[in-house]
Amino acid sequence: MIPQIRPSQFCAWLASVKGHGKPVVLDVREPSELQKAHIKADGFDVVAIPMNMLPLRLDELSVGQPTACLCHHGARSMQMATFLNQQGFSLVVNIAGGIDAWSVEVDSSVPRY
């Protein structure tokens, strides 16, 4: 079972994975969605790999790196978090509610679409 965190819990998750390498938010949305809205990296890296490209670009991520998956509302990112877990990623979570919830709970400057 993949842990789900709300955007409002993201800072607590960052603190909980301290010492395991620099955390990454894996944004699995399409490039056109990234143009509409994106989060600002602060204490973590953001890696954008569209969902359908992730199996081909898996080598851009590190198995031991804490990874939080993000999409528009949380469904695609949950699928990709499950995929990563099956590939041996043990420090992976899904950001429930996606970037839409991020805008509501964390940073209202992130456009909703």
Which candidate in 37, 39, 54, 71 is catalytic? 71
- The verdict on whether 69 is a catalytic residue reads no
CATH superfamily, region 4-105: Rhodanese-like domain (3.40.250.10)
Say if CB 28 and CB 92 are below 8 A apart.
no
pLDDT value of position 102: 98
Q: What is the pLDDT of residue 111?
A: 97
pLDDT in tens, 10-69: 999 999 999 999 999 999 999 999 999 999 999 999 999 999 999 999 999 999 999 999
Query: In the chain, where are the structural domains located?
Result: 4-105
- The model's pLDDT over 71-106, given as tens digits with 9 standing for 90+, comes to 999 999 999 999 999 999 999 999 999 999 999 999
